[in-house]
Amino acid sequence: MSSQCVIIGVAGASGSGKSLLASTIVNELGSSQVAVISEDAYYKDLGDMPLNQREERNYDHPESMDHAMMAEHLVALKAGQSVEVPTYDYTLHARTSQTRVVGNHTIIVLEGILLFTDEKLRDLMDIRIFVDTPMDICLIRRLTRDLVERGRTVESILTQYQNTVRPMYLQFIEPSKRYADIIVPRGGKNRIAIDIIKAKMNQLLMPTVVE
C-alpha cells in the first residue's frame, strides 16, 4: 500500500463533538487534499426491512456498521484509488441511492463512534484521536441535534439513549479509548487541541504544497 494517504481516526461518544472537531480542523486547513468520511455513512443497509423494525434496531452496536466495506474503502484510498462512499438517511434508517466519490487525498479524516472497536480499521489508521466529553453534555447535544436535524421526538431520543446509546458507550466506545494516540477533552471547542492537530496535518501536507 502507498503511504501517500494518511488516515486519521476521530472517535468518541455520540454528541462528544468529534464531528465538529473534524470539520473545524478541515475547514481551517482549507486544503482540497483533505477529506472527511463519517462512519455513519457505513450503517448496514436495512432498506428491505419494514420501517417499524428498522426503528427498533440497536444502531450503537458495532454489528450495526458495515466495517468490512469501510476497511475495503480505506485500503483503496491508501492505494491512491477513488471510492464511492454511501449516503445514509437517518429518518428512514436506510441508505439512499446516492454516493459520494472520495479519492486522491493526502489526508482522510474518519469520524465515528465505533471506529476504534474494529481491529482492522484501527490498523489502517495512522493517527487515532478520541474525543472525551462528559455524558451529560453529550446527551444535551444529541437532543438538540436529533430534534432539529433528524426529525425525532424527545421521547424517542431519550428512550434510545437509555436503551442503547449509554449502555453501548460503556460497553464498547469508552473502552476503545485505550487505542487512542491523543485524547481530546471538550471536543470541537478545545482550541489548543485543534491547533496542535492542525499543525501536525499541515506538516503532513507540506510535500504536496512544495513544488
Q: Report if residue 133 sits inside a domain.
A: yes
Higher-pLDDT residue of 176, 57: 176
State the CATH number of the domain containing residue 165: 3.40.50.300
The answer, as to whether pTM is greater than 0.85, is yes
Could you tell me if residue 66 is inside a domain? yes
**Residue at 138 is within a domain:** yes
Distance, C-alpha 122 to centroid of its chain = 13
- Quote the pLDDT of residue 209: 44
CB 88 within 8 A of CB 44: no
**pLDDT at 211 exceeding the cut of 50:** no
- How confident is residue 37, by pLDDT bands cut at 50, 70 and 90? very high
- Position 207 scores a pLDDT of 58
User: How many CA atoms within 13 Å lie on the side-chain side of 178?
Assistant: 4
In a domain, 52, yes or no: yes
Mean pLDDT of 95-118: 94
Residue 3 has pLDDT above 60, yes or no: no
- Is residue 171 assigned to a domain? yes
Which range of residues forms the domain containing residue 182? 6-203
> Between 191-209 and 18-29, two packed helices, what is the crossing angle to 10 degrees?
40
Stretch 167-180: mean pLDDT: 97
Residue closest to 42 by CA, chosen among 17, 15, 62: 62
Beta-carbon contacts of residue 92 (< 8 Å; ≥ 6 apart): 47, 51, 54
At 188 the pLDDT is 76
Q: How many residues are recorded in the chain?
A: 211
Is 1 inside any structural domain? no
| Residue 13 CB contacts under 8 Å (≥ 6 apart), including other chains | 113, 131, 133, 135, 138, 169, 173, 174
- Report in angstroms the alpha-carbon separations of 100 from 27, 74, 96, 169: 18, 14, 11, 29
Look up residue 39 and give its three cell numbers.
462512519
> Domain count of the chain?
1
CA distance 9 to 153: 31
What is the C-alpha end-to-end distance of the chain, expressed in Å? 24
List residues bridging with 95 in a β-sheet: 88
* Domain annotation covers residue 210: no
Q: Which residue in 74, 75, 102 sits closest to 87, CA to CA?
A: 102
Q: What is the pLDDT of residues 68-77, one digit of tens each?
A: 999 999 999 9
Percent helix / strand / coil, the chain, rounded to 5: 50, 20, 25
Backbone CA torsion sign across 100, 103, 107, 113: positive
